[in-house]
């Protein structure tokens, strides 16, 4: 049983800063923050899960089966991540590219301490901990003196895994596959990296201030960290209701209001961006149909433009009702990896991606989230993210874009640089 406590906060933002700083003493942390973005399907504004009671780490072999067993046995809140390379568990695929991070393919834990934020209300749920320990922790959190130091500098020299010339050549090869009919679309990603020490918490604070994204994450699993400013939801389940919100289509923002409006309008009307979004919507509809009640898969939002601090994104929303016979993990396994990070047809696209990309994706283009005791879940897409292995002093971020028959290699490269702007900024300054 979890001890339950609900309090009203005077300063939500201040408490969150102190809470996340206080949490650094623990080896296992998942912090999820909507940054007050108006998301109609969001259950909580922010969540902190910390201090593992139990946990699971595994490679991709029978990964989903092991997760289902763990989720069923705990029958509790569990938090963690699914790496992109779990694709190998569901299909005859492989991941043999360079990996400088060495994250496990799957990692979840059952937290002893759980903090759930909604507006100015904080709900605290502790597992097998006496009530006075909640009071003791709240006293420690409120007294914590560390403040987010936005003047902190990293001064890290970022390198590209591939050159611009190599990138353009690879896009041309993707286009050859598309023209031959092997695929219609593929998400092509490239890695930027550095050998450096990183102050993970301060870097996360800086990244989050720049982007203020609705699916931001700070994750710590021992010596491995994810600092994410993701704008994208992968999949949410509430009862039998399933929702997916793929992003395809991106443009920069401008400080000039008129120019910013023009950029938004150009994106909204761009036939290339709309076609790649619609192709992924069709893929998501097909994936959801595997676990949905007949006739319940519907597109409730198509190619709508959503504005974030640094970019405009084209987002669609697909909803369905799950069959009562499928488990929560069945739903994820049927739809993973998310279509926005693979392509269409999905398996063919993933095979070609493995051949043409130079880096194992790992947690990048995977998902972070949680399961509730009722079998509900909510997961983001790991993009706009910095990954860090502290033991190896290896820092990495990747960016990508969708390659279709209408792609211009130079413009795809420019889109990658736009997406990389926030991560590069906090690492190099």
Task: Please list the pLDDT of the chain residue by residue as tens digits (429 residues).
Answer: 687 889 999 999 999 999 999 999 999 999 999 998 877 788 899 999 999 999 999 999 999 999 999 999 999 999 999 999 999 999 999 999 999 999 999 999 999 999 999 999 999 999 977 668 898 999 999 888 665 555 667 889 999 999 999 999 999 999 999 999 999 999 999 999 999 999 999 999 999 999 899 999 999 999 999 999 999 999 999 999 999 999 999 888 999 999 999 999 999 999 989 999 999 999 999 999 999 999 999 999 999 999 988 889 999 999 999 999 999 999 999 999 999 999 999 999 999 999 999 999 999 999 999 999 999 999 999 999 999 999 999 999 999 999 999 999 999 999 999 899 999 999 998
Rounded Cα–Cα distance for residues 107 and 83 (Å): 9
Rounded Cα–Cα distance for residues 46 and 219 (Å): 13
* Residue 120 near residue 154, CB atoms below 8 Å: no
pTM: 0.95
Query: Domains plus CATH for the chain?
Result: 2-142+151-428 (3.60.120.10)
Rounded Cα–Cα distance for residues 294 and 288 (Å): 10
Neighbours of 73 (CB within 10 A): 11
Rounded Cα–Cα distance for residues 66 and 59 (Å): 10
Cis? peptide before 352, omega within 30° of 0:
no
Here the tokens at position 240 are 């039998």
Q: What is the DSSP string of 15-78?
A: HHHHHHHHGGGSSEEEEEE-TT---TT-S-SEEEEEEEEEEEEE-STTHHHHHHHHHHHH-S-E
Here the tokens at position 270 are 């761009």
Residue with tokens 């889109």: 415
């Amino acid at each position: 049983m979890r001890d339950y406590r609900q309090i009203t906060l005077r300063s939500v933002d201040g408490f969150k800063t102190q809470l996340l700083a206080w949490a650094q003493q623990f080896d296992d942390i998942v912090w999820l923050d909507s940054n007050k973005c108006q998301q109609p399907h969001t259950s909580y504004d922010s969540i902190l899960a910390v201090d593992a009671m139990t946990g699971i780490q595994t490679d991709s072999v029978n990964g989903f089966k092991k997760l289902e067993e763990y989720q069923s046995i705990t029958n509790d809140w569990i938090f963690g991540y699914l790496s992109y390379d779990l694709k190998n568990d569901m299909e005859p695929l492989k991941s043999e590219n360079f990996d400088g991070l060495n994250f496990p393919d799957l990692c979840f834990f059952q937290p002893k301490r759980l903090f759930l934020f909604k507006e100015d209300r904080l709900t605290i749920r502790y597992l097998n901990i006496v009530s006075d320990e909640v009071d003791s922790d709240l006293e420690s959190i409120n007294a914590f003196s560390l403040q987010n130091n936005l003047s902190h500098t990293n001064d890290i020299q970022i390198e590209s895994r591939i050159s611009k010339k190599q990138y353009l050549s690879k896009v041309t090869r993707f286009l050859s596959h598309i023209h031959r009919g092997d695929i219609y679309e593929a998400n092509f990603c490239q890695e930027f990296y550095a050998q450096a020490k990183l102050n993970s918490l301060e870097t996360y604070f800086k990244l989050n201030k720049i982007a203020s994204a609705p699916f931001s994450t700070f994750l710590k699993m021992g010596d491995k960290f994810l600092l994410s400013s993701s704008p994208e939801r992968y999949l949410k389940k509430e009862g039998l209701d399933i929702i997916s919100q793929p992003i395809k289509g991106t443009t920069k923002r401008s400080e000039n209001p008129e120019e910013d409006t023009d950029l938004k309008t150009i994106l909204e009307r761009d036939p290339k961006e709309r076609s790649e979004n619609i192709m992924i919507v069709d893929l998501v509809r097909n994936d959801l149909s595997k676990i949905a009640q007949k006739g319940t898969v519907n597109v409730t939002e198509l190619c709508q433009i959503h504005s974030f601090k640094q970019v405009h994104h084209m987002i669609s929303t697909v909803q369905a009702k799950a069959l009562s016979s499928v488990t929560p993990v069945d739903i994820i396994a049927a739809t993973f990896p998310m279509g926005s990070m693979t392509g269409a047809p999905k398996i063919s696209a993933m095979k070609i991606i493995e051949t043409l990309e130079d880096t194992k994706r790992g947690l990048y283009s995977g998902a972070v989230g949680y399961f509730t005791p009722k079998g509900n879940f909510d997961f983001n897409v790991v993009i706009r993210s910095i990954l860090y292995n502290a033991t190896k002093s290896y820092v990495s971020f990747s960016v990508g874009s969708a390659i279709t028959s209408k792609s211009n290699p130079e413009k795809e490269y420019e889109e990658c640089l736009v997406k990389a702007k926030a991560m590069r900024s906090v690492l190099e300054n």
